[in-house]
Amino acid sequence: MLQESWPRTIEAIMKSEGLSKVRWIAFALVSVWGTAVLALGFLCSCGSPRANNVGRKGDFIAAFGGTAVAPEYRNVHITYGLDPKREKYFVHVPNDYVEDRPYGLVVFIDAEEDVNEVPYEWASVLDARHMLFVAPQNGGNDQDNDRRMGLAVMGALQMMKHYRIDPSRVYVAGYSGGARIAGKLGFYQSEVFHGTIQNCGADFHKQVSTLYATSWLSRSGEPYGTFEATDEEIARAKQVRFVLVTGTRDFRRGNILDIFNGGFAKEGFKAKLFDVPGMQHTTCSGEVLSAALDFIESTPSQQPSALVSFVPDPGQTFSLDLDTATGRYSNWRHDNQLGAVRHRISI
């Protein structure tokens, strides 16, 4: 339309004289300026989750744009200088999203560089719970840990900037190496992330006893299972709810069992283990995700009390079935409402 109208406008200007020509020139300049402003506005809106000032819904990949947002507490292990105009994210927003109520948010860190969809069976669970989902691109296992954590923090803060998010319902999830990053964020950025969902990956702030693990090395030959944390970070992390997910066919199962039992459970963290029969090294099912969120979002009155401390007499053997323990040992149970735990411990 613009190409068709400009020749007629120029012809009218050439035929006009005096005041009429001035008016035609002014009209042409205003038209050019208006077209430029509209084009600039369109280009600036492209790639933003809030294109045209309306919260986008559904699944899309975009850069947030605008200025960076920093958390109140900055951790030396995290990179905060990432550019929101350059970094891209996969975003999932329920189709029934409305701004008259706050939503929850799950930030997901994958082991791969590209995330193009919500993990299998997760979308319906998140939608039913009124939760949004965001996952950084170029945030896989080949990236440095400080960058991966920075991407997760920026994703959370930018989503809270562009959508109506309840800050108390912001959680971080991950798969494999991404699960390990999620766990670290429960220590390093606990005022942003109030729960973790760690699929087939975990670490603890100190070495734990080995009962099930067959190796404490990663596939690249690096030490597996530990990271550094200050006393203050540990104290903050004890207010976070950690969910560790593994399965009987997960090659990291032994490490995760040892880290949960010898670390999180032993030291009184708010943590829950899901050991799923037949599950491989992958993301959990929608059913397990729902149960994990039940644990994270339960009220304090619904949380189990601290584990009972038990020291057997010298030479005494003590067996405890973690599926059926009752009485003073009922809090040791790790059942996940799915009949998934089949362990017996002898002390």
Residue 65 has pLDDT above 60, yes or no: yes
Q: Kindly state whether residues 229 and 334 are assigned to the same domain.
A: no
Q: Kindly state whether residues 93 and 153 are assigned to the same domain.
A: yes
Q: Kindly state whether residues 15 and 95 are assigned to the same domain.
A: no
- Domain coverage including residue 210: 54-299
Residue 157 belongs to domain with CATH number: 3.40.50.1820
Q: Kindly state whether residues 24 and 71 are assigned to the same domain.
A: no
Q: For the segment 187-241, what is each residue's pLDDT rounded down to a tens digit?
A: 999 999 999 999 999 999 999 999 999 999 998 889 999 999 999 999 999 999 9
**Tally of domains within the chain:** 3
Q: Kindly state whether residues 309 and 213 are assigned to the same domain.
A: no
Q: How far apart are the first and last CA of the chain?
A: 82
Q: Kindly state whether residues 175 and 288 are assigned to the same domain.
A: yes
Cβ density class 173-182: b for 16+ within 10 Å, e for less = bbbbbbbbbb
Q: For the segment 85-108, what is each residue's pLDDT rounded down to a tens digit?
A: 999 999 999 999 999 999 999 999
Q: Kindly state whether residues 255 and 342 are assigned to the same domain.
A: no
Q: Kindly state whether residues 41 and 186 are assigned to the same domain.
A: no
Q: Kindly state whether residues 29 and 176 are assigned to the same domain.
A: no
Q: Kindly state whether residues 165 and 313 are assigned to the same domain.
A: no
Q: How confident is the model at residue 45 (pLDDT cuts 50, 70, 90)?
A: very low
Burial of 68 (0-12, 13-18, 19+ CB in 10 A): middle
φ/ψ of residue 297, rounded to 5: -100, 5
The overall average pLDDT reported for the chain is 81
Residue 54 has pLDDT above 50, yes or no: no
Residues 158, 61, 285, 342, Cα dihedral to 10°: -60
Cα(329)–Cα(195) distance, integer angstroms: 26
Q: For the segment 142-168, what is each residue's pLDDT rounded down to a tens digit?
A: 999 999 999 999 999 999 999 999 999
Q: Kindly state whether residues 41 and 96 are assigned to the same domain.
A: no
Distances from the Cα of 27 to the Cα of 53, 127, 177, 317, angstroms: 29, 50, 60, 94
Q: Enter the pTM of the model.
A: 0.75
Q: Kindly state whether residues 294 and 308 are assigned to the same domain.
A: no
Residues comprising the chain, all counted: 347
